[in-house]
Chains A and B, each alone.
Chain A
Amino acid sequence: MFNDLNPLLHQQLRLSVMSLLMNVKEADFTYIREKTGATAGNLSVQINKLAEAEYIQVKKSFKENYPLTTCTITSNGRIAFEEYVTSLQEYLKPTE
């Protein structure tokens, strides 16, 4: 049924991350973890997958000697997310 849905986005945590990043300019790793309720390990894996697909951009820096990972959605990611939502809407349309 969901063949047309982008498999990279059709996963709970990745979809949560993408939905969150669609709404903000940038968010740091801790914030995303708090909002999604995911474990650091799982979140890290899923973020890497999204970054490999160039859906998000991950910037690593330091803040007061602590590593800081900041994520931003890319234009590719934005397009993919919009396509995903459009496909989803198609599925939700009542069948005639």
Chain B
Amino acid sequence: MENEKSMMSNEESLRIIRSMIESTKQDLRDNGSWFLLWGWLVFIACILHYVLMEVGYEKPYLAWMLMPVGGIISFIKGMREEKSQKVKTHLDEFMKHVLVAFLVSLFIVLGFMSKLGLSTYPLVMMVYGFWLYISGGAINFRPLQIGGIINWVLTIAAFFVGFELQLLFLGMAVLLGYIIPGYILRNRYNKAAKLSPNNAKESYV
């Protein structure tokens, strides 16, 4: 590529275009860390809330104090990833908009928890489903989309049960929608990293 005047054949031109498209495609990899982080945090909080309630603890909702911890970890992790990011794809941009839409919707639901009462957790799962389905479609990763559909099914089911069961449903929703797809993503990422270590350094979520 050093020689400015080097002649290129049409096949050579096509090969260059193809190889550049391929090489940027390989950067569209997610190691699943965000799904695992939030999946486990919400899962633990749900189960902890349930257990504390069962043992008769006065303030079982304190289990959700894990969320601000997750917020701080996410902030630091996000800053680090932003710093090491050498390329921004159109998908990165799209996912950012989806994430903002997801977070705004989630905060609206959580902010009106007192008005929503027993509908809060079903609506949280509905918002989860929305995010998972779109994210899965955007990165062409079926387990996330299936996770999204499971979240919607659990949303409907949760409208018909009491708070205790809703907690378990939410735990199941994050297990099937975040944690399991997160591990599949991580596994896929590690395999790809073994095949081409340079390309696997990038992550878009």
* Complex interface: stretch among B33-41, B85-93, B130-138, B183-191: B85-93
B35 to chain A, nearest CB (A): 23
Decide if the interface of chain A is mainly helix, strand, loop or mixed: helix
Q: How many residues of B contact A (CB 8 A)?
A: 26
Could you tell me which residues of chain B, from 3 to 36, have a CB within 8 Å of some CB in chain A?
Answer: 4, 6, 8, 10, 12-14, 16-17, 19-21, 23-25
Q: Is the CB of A20 within 8 A of B24?
A: yes
Report if B58 contacts A (CB, 8 A): no
B89 to chain A, nearest CB (A): 5
Report if A63 contacts B (CB, 8 A): yes
Tell me which of A5, A11, A24, A85 contacts B6 (CB under 8 A): A11
Decide if the interface of chain B is mainly helix, strand, loop or mixed: helix
Report if A51 contacts B (CB, 8 A): no
In this complex, what residue of A is CB-closest to B3?
A12
In this complex, what residue of A is CB-closest to B198?
A34
Q: How many residues of A contact B (CB 8 A)?
A: 31
Q: Is the CB of A19 within 8 A of B10?
A: no
Residues of A within 8 A of B198 (CB): 34
A49 to chain B, nearest CB (A): 9
Residues of A within 8 A of B13 (CB): 5, 10, 15, 88
Tell me which of A23, A38, A88 contacts B14 (CB under 8 A): A88
Report if A80 contacts B (CB, 8 A): no
Report if A76 contacts B (CB, 8 A): no
Report if B194 contacts A (CB, 8 A): no
Tell me which of A30, A31, A37 contacts B1 (CB under 8 A): A37
B96 to chain A, nearest CB (A): 10
Tell me which of B17, B23, B88 contacts A85 (CB under 8 A): B17
Can you name 5 A-B residue pairings with CB atoms under 8 Å? A13-B1, A19-B17, A20-B20, A23-B21, A36-B20
